[in-house]
């Protein structure tokens, strides 16, 4: 019976070690020291408090701090309310950004929505870190009523009656 316990324990130990080794991926990818490097001017674009349907365009500046030209390949928001396209036109720097130079990404948030928002904008490039992101945040006020079917309260015509005041009696 003792040998059966040793076999079960040994099998369990072997499976545990193999699982642990498989869980540790081996990275063979080397980072090119001469690659482009993307650094955003700030990590968040703050819209602040906006009127409903206000201008939703803002610009994020970025710098190539690497040693090779930087090419932005794609920019997209985490949902359909945020975009980096004006129709079919891409709104980020299209030409390669030389080392030490700046580029821009224009993003648009749909300000016809109401309430606070925090969204991520994803940037894909040829930089050392090829997938990066920055945030946009703000709040959109509720739309103002357009005057249609808006009830108003006004005093009744004619002289106003003064109601008698009621005084409490002391017990």
Cα 26-29-32 angle, rounded to 5 deg = 150
Give the E-state strand segments of 27-86 in sequence order: 38-40, 44-50, 57-64, 72-77, 82-83, 85-86
Note the pTM of the prediction, 2 decimals. Answer: 0.67
Residue 27 resides in a domain: no
Residue 78 resides in a domain: yes
Element (H, E) at 115: strand 115-125
Give how many domains the chain has, as a whole number.
1
Condensed to tens digits (0 to 9), the pLDDT of residues 63-100 reads 999 999 999 999 999 998 999 999 999 999 999 999 99
Residue 102 resides in a domain: yes
List the CATH number of the domain containing 100.
Answer: 2.60.40.10
Domain extent at residue 60: 38-108+119-140
Residue 152 resides in a domain: no
Residue 150 resides in a domain: no
For strands 57-64 and 44-50, give the pairing: unpaired
Residue 59 resides in a domain: yes
């Amino acid at each position: 019976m003792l040998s059966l316990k040793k076999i079960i324990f040994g099998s369990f130990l072997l499976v545990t070690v193999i699982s642990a080794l498989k869980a540790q991926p081996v990275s063979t990818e080397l980072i090119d020291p001469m690659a482009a490097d993307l650094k955003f001017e700030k990590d968040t674009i703050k819209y602040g408090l906006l009127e409903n349907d206000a201008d939703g365009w803002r610009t994020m500046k970025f710098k190539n701090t690497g040693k090779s030209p930087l090419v932005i390949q794609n920019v997209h928001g985490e949902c359909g309310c945020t975009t980096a396209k004006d129709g079919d036109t891409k709104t980020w720097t299209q030409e390669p950004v030389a080392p030490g130079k700046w580029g821009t990404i224009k993003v648009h948030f749909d300000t016809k929505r109401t309430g606070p928002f925090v969204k991520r904008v994803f940037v894909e490039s040829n930089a050392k870190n090829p997938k990066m992101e920055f945030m946009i945040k703000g709040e959109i006020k509720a739309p103002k009523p357009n005057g249609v079917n808006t009830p108003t309260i006004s005093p009744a015509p004619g002289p106003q009656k003064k109601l008698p005041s009621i005084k409490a009696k002391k017990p």
